[in-house]
Amino acid sequence: MSSGSGFGDEKGGSSSVGEPEYGHDPASGGIFSSDYKRHDDLKEMLDSNKDSLKLEAMKRIVAMIARGKNASDLFPAVVKNVACKNIEVKKLVYVYLVRYAEEQQDLALLSISTFQRGLKDPNQLIRASALRVLSSIRVTIIVPIMMLAIKEAASDMSPYVRKTAAHAIPKLYSLDPEQKDQLIEVIEKLLADKTTLVAGSVVMAFEEVCPERIDLIHKNYRKLCNLLIDVEEWGQVVIINMLTRYARTQFLNPNVNESLLEESGEKAFYGSDDEEGKEEKAEAAALAKRKPYVMDPDHRLLLRNTKPLLQSRNAAVVMAVAQLYFHLAPKAEVGVIAKALVRLMRSHSEVQYVVLQNVATMTIKRRGMFEPYLKSFYIRSTDPTQIKILKLEVLTNLANETNISTILREFQTYIKSMDKDFVAATIQAIGRCATNIGEVRDTCLNGLVQLLSNRDELVVAESVVVIKKLLQMQPEQHSDIIKHMAKLTDNIQVPMARASILWLIGEYCEHVPKIAPDVLRKMAKTFTNEEDIVKLQIINLAAKLYLTNSKQTKLLTQYVLNLAKYDQNYDIRDRARFIRQLIVPTDKSGALSKYAKKLFLALKPAPVLESPFKDRDHFQLGSLSHLLNAKAGGYQELPDWPETAPDPSVRNVEVPEWTKCSSREKRKEKKVEKPFYSDSEEESGPTESADSESDSASGSGSGSESEESGSGSESEESREESESEQEDKEDEEDKRKKKKKTDRGKVKAPAVESPESEESSGAEEKNRAQKVKGRRSGSESESEEEEESESESSRSESESESESESDTDAKKKKKAPVTKPPPKQAKKESKKEKKEMSLLDLDDFEPTPSPQVTPVNNFLSSSLVTDLEGLSLTDTVMAPTTIAPSGSVKTYELLHRITGEGLGVEYCFSRQPFSPDAHMVAVQIMFTNNTNAETKNLHVEDPKLQSGMRIKEFPEIELLPPGEMVTVVMGIDFCDSTQAANFQLCTHIRKFFVSIQPPVGELMMPVFMTENEFKKEQGQLMGMNEISEKLTLGEKCQNEHGIVQRVTSAANVSRVPCGSDKECRFAGKTVSSGILVLVTVATKEERAAQLTVNCEKMVIGTMLVKDILQALTQ
């Protein structure tokens, strides 16, 4: 309270005003009771009905918490407000709760139900915040609830909720480490998440919970590398650090060869000559043995994708990339980080401090890297001392023969600084330069000796210490320096310096035989007043002199030893006793005394002056452990490179299993082939069913017919099928009539009146029929394809075959594709050639309303379906693939088989007009049931859309038997934005949050135009509405043909005729608002081309340019 009392008065003004009143109460008087009363006051406010009072109370409570005052007795009063409507009160209650829940576990439980309710809220932000607070409450009893909530949230549709789930994982782990295994499962699941929002958080959870499970990363490695640049900056740091460790375990050292060379180079410089020769030979041999190093492409991927992050504004990100390069990159490439690190030096001094520490370590290993930036490490008088000393360290590390003179000159300036610690460090730095660089040793020594006459005692003292070290290297030549220093003993008072001088004189007393005894004499006089380290050195000096010159110094030595004998310090007393026994010959003297000379005057090795940063790089740079040069808790060792590379294939991302499974694959193939066949198939699908309907269903019309095909009686079904098959044949026979046929289909559709399908147009129904057919072909395709490709005669046979098959059993049909794969492949090849041609054709007639895939509105009553279970099976089987007109419809995953607990859902944009609402984009959704149980009541619930967006749900699918798949169509009005449409996909047991995000190219539909119209429209969309990009065409789309194909696959536009063969033009309009989109690709020489998009909506235009650009340059 003491520090914050004034502040408390300001904030809780009203309460302090209220205090005197309570003061009247005779019972109160002490500070405690008034405090108690004040809390009473707060309790009252919290219990009131007014939000404003509650808020004021909460604010005061939070202010108390902020000051570190105890407010725990208010817990019951506060926790009641957890469900308060006022957002700010609620938030402040959360703050309080998280702070005190640990102390008041039982009461905290009262709040849990509120959060559990919040977890189910339709709004993702509320769900997230509920999970956040729930997981922050450190109460062991709710661990199971938290676990459940985390698991649930991990498969939430909203990436933001999933991110919160990732954040909650380490919280739960620290509360109850027992949950580790379960949490790892959740982490594994979230690691597979594809959104950037989640990536950083889940890797952080990974690092806190199971950093040793590096195997979890394999499958996600490439994804993480690719996402990295879009992850938020804090997540980037965590991911990069983790990937550094990962790479160290998975890739080979790119510097194996270089590191050998490097070492040899350094040794040659310092080492003796003959050693060098030997080593070189050994290395040459080693080099010869080594295989040429080839970098793993994944290793390269990591280096390439992290490099742009050196440009981040966040110092931590830059540092993370720098350490990654330092630890992982080939030597030649490490240099790129120097510039970025030097840039960081302009940042706050704390940042500088950390960066310099790391640069200091790097300069020892890779000096060359920072040499060009030498001047950036020059010291300014305004730098804080700790920064100055680190810069000095870096400068010293960077010193070499060529730059030493400049560096020394700089050092000379620093010595004049008023910052004494810094001056001392400078002198030491000079000493280190002198030992490292032989050429300047004498220069440095002379310079230091000059400093001995400096006015500042500290400078002198430090110089003495450094000179002592330098002299040890070559004492013979420097007796005059020693003499000079002996004189200093009169003036220098700094103990360390005095001790150093005494040691020097003692050690080299033979070089100064006359002076040494005199120094001892002087010292003996002042002995009692000296510091301990000086006393010890006096005893040392005495002993050494006694041994070399006992005549002159015998008495002095005795005197000194006697003084020492009665010293206060036991260390000195012990030393004196020990030395006396050793050097003064008595009758009892031990065996050691004859070795006394050897003991004291042995040749001592010169000290090595080395950087405190030497070998610090065994810690991961940038880490806390590296900074402290000690292992911090939770530090993960940077592993050594492996000798041989582990299997790189572990990183290959498996194609989700279910796409491998037969039906799926078939479908894809089918799609590829479709352009070729689709002519007949696609058209025939609807028409045929229409025909058959009119035939079979006694003119009930296409609507009822499609319905029937779904739910009609069995007998009808089989008949219909056979009919359709026949039709198929017919179609094949006169392919050219296809257009007419579509027309016919169209004409027929309206003619049909079906009560149920009034709202849905005929086309829609046809769609459905067509789709049904598509599904059928999914499983049955083989037989069909075969039929088609074979000659007509053989065809009838196969047809009958397929028919019988379809009649017999769905399961059997499913197997069919597996049994006959070889012939199919052969055929595929032949089809491929034709495919391209047909694609073009298709583009041309795309705009004409082509047959539709339409959902039959929910007339499949459940009873009917259960009755006709077998039928619905055949239903799925029998529909041919006629999803989209162009061959390359991309399917996207809506719900992964694993996330969906066996229910896999994919979607694609069928590019058909969605007839119930022309402003909607048709999305075709394919459900696959991979479980062994039936999935019932598949339907859409609870769409969450951006404002303006609308959704037209597909009719409920009553039943999806195990192993089967079904396709439906829904319409979404995206409002011409690429914002995702979010909704829940519900089965009878589960709900899944899913979202559909359209590529911009799917937001439009083709428009037919003449060249003139095009030019006119383009003329009106100039300036801001025009975006041009230059590009180089990819190898496969250099001809017009390729371009058209690429563009139309990237966007749903149609080609506009054009006089010039150098230009391809396309036109489309957005589905929702009908805004024109014009695309022009002008080709030039040598694959160069220019892409121009004219569109009033710049966002759409920009995105479209990007997509098309990508399609064309690939």
First to last CA, the chain: 68
Side-by-side strand order, sheet with 921-929: 891-895, 903-913, 921-929, 965-973, 950-952
Query: Which parts of 539-568 interact with other proteins (CB under 8 A)?
Result: none
Sign (positive/negative) of CA torsion 161, 166, 167, 170?
A: positive
Q: Cα–Cα distance between 350 and 386 in angstroms, integer?
A: 10
CA dist 608 → 85, 225, 605 (Å): 71, 44, 9
* In the complex, minimum distance from the CB of residue 53 to other proteins, in angstroms, rounded to a whole number: 9
Q: Does 342 bind other proteins (CB under 8 A)?
A: yes
Q: Does 308 bind other proteins (CB under 8 A)?
A: yes
Site string for other proteins, 350-379 (x = CB under 8 A): xx-xxx----------------xx-xx-x-
Site string for other proteins, 184-223 (x = CB under 8 A): -------------x---x--x-------------------
Q: Which two tokens stand for residue 1077?
A: 């989109």
CA dist 817 → 665, 787, 891, 917 (Å): 10, 13, 21, 37
CB atoms within 10 A of CB 847: 18
* In the complex, minimum distance from the CB of residue 415 to other proteins, in angstroms, rounded to a whole number: 10
Residue nearer to other proteins on the CB measure, 67 or 832: 67
Q: Does 86 bind other proteins (CB under 8 A)?
A: yes
* In the complex, minimum distance from the CB of residue 724 to other proteins, in angstroms, rounded to a whole number: 46
Q: Does 314 bind other proteins (CB under 8 A)?
A: yes
Query: Which parts of 582-641 interact with other proteins (CB under 8 A)?
Result: 622-625, 627-628, 630, 632-636
Q: Does 91 bind other proteins (CB under 8 A)?
A: yes
* In the complex, minimum distance from the CB of residue 624 to other proteins, in angstroms, rounded to a whole number: 5
Q: Does 995 bind other proteins (CB under 8 A)?
A: no
* In the complex, minimum distance from the CB of residue 565 to other proteins, in angstroms, rounded to a whole number: 37
Residue nearer to other proteins on the CB measure, 201 or 967: 201
* In the complex, minimum distance from the CB of residue 802 to other proteins, in angstroms, rounded to a whole number: 48
Query: Looking at 7-15, 489-497, 601-609, 805-813, which segment touches other proteins (CB under 8 A)?
Result: 7-15
Query: Which parts of 98-117 interact with other proteins (CB under 8 A)?
Result: 99, 102
Residue nearer to other proteins on the CB measure, 125 or 650: 125
Q: Does 48 bind other proteins (CB under 8 A)?
A: no
Best CA proximity match to 759, nearest among 916, 624, 612: 916
CA dist 1075 → 609, 1028, 1100 (Å): 75, 19, 10
Q: Which residue has the tokens 């966007």?
A: 1051
Q: Does 385 bind other proteins (CB under 8 A)?
A: yes
Helix (H) or strand (E) holding 940: strand 935-944
Query: Looking at 167-175, 641-649, 784-792, 1084-1092, which segment touches other proteins (CB under 8 A)?
Result: 167-175
Residue nearer to other proteins on the CB measure, 381 or 493: 381
Query: Which parts of 441-460 interact with other proteins (CB under 8 A)?
Result: 443, 446-447, 450, 455
Query: Which parts of 1075-1104 interact with other proteins (CB under 8 A)?
Result: 1098-1099, 1102
Residue nearer to other proteins on the CB measure, 98 or 515: 98
Q: Does 313 bind other proteins (CB under 8 A)?
A: yes
Residue nearer to other proteins on the CB measure, 630 or 751: 630
Instruction: Estimate the crossing angle of helix 51-67 against helix 87-100, to 10 degrees.
Output: 30
677-695 burial code (b ≥16 CB/10 A, e <16) = bbbbbbbbbbbbbbbbbbe
Binding residue (CB under 8 A) for other proteins from 22, 118, 153, 170:
170
Query: Which parts of 479-498 interact with other proteins (CB under 8 A)?
Result: none
Binding residue (CB under 8 A) for other proteins from 117, 281, 416, 598:
416
Q: Cα–Cα distance between 851 and 777 in angstroms, integer?
A: 17
Q: Cα–Cα distance between 590 and 596 in angstroms, integer?
A: 11
Residue nearer to other proteins on the CB measure, 4 or 495: 4
Q: Does 645 bind other proteins (CB under 8 A)?
A: no
865-890 burial code (b ≥16 CB/10 A, e <16) = beebeebbbbbbbbbbbbbbbbbbbe
Helix (H) or strand (E) holding 903: strand 903-913
CA dist 49 → 45, 74, 85, 746, 998 (Å): 8, 17, 11, 67, 48
Q: How many chain residues bind other proteins (CB under 8 A)?
A: 115
Judge contact between 355 and 343, C-beta under 8 A: no
Query: Which parts of 1010-1029 interact with other proteins (CB under 8 A)?
Result: 1024, 1027
CB atoms within 10 A of CB 891: 17
Binding residue (CB under 8 A) for other proteins from 315, 329, 424, 1108:
315
Residue nearer to other proteins on the CB measure, 93 or 873: 93
Query: Which parts of 140-159 interact with other proteins (CB under 8 A)?
Result: 158-159
Q: Cα–Cα distance between 1113 and 1031 in angstroms, integer?
A: 7
Q: Does 242 bind other proteins (CB under 8 A)?
A: no
* In the complex, minimum distance from the CB of residue 75 to other proteins, in angstroms, rounded to a whole number: 15
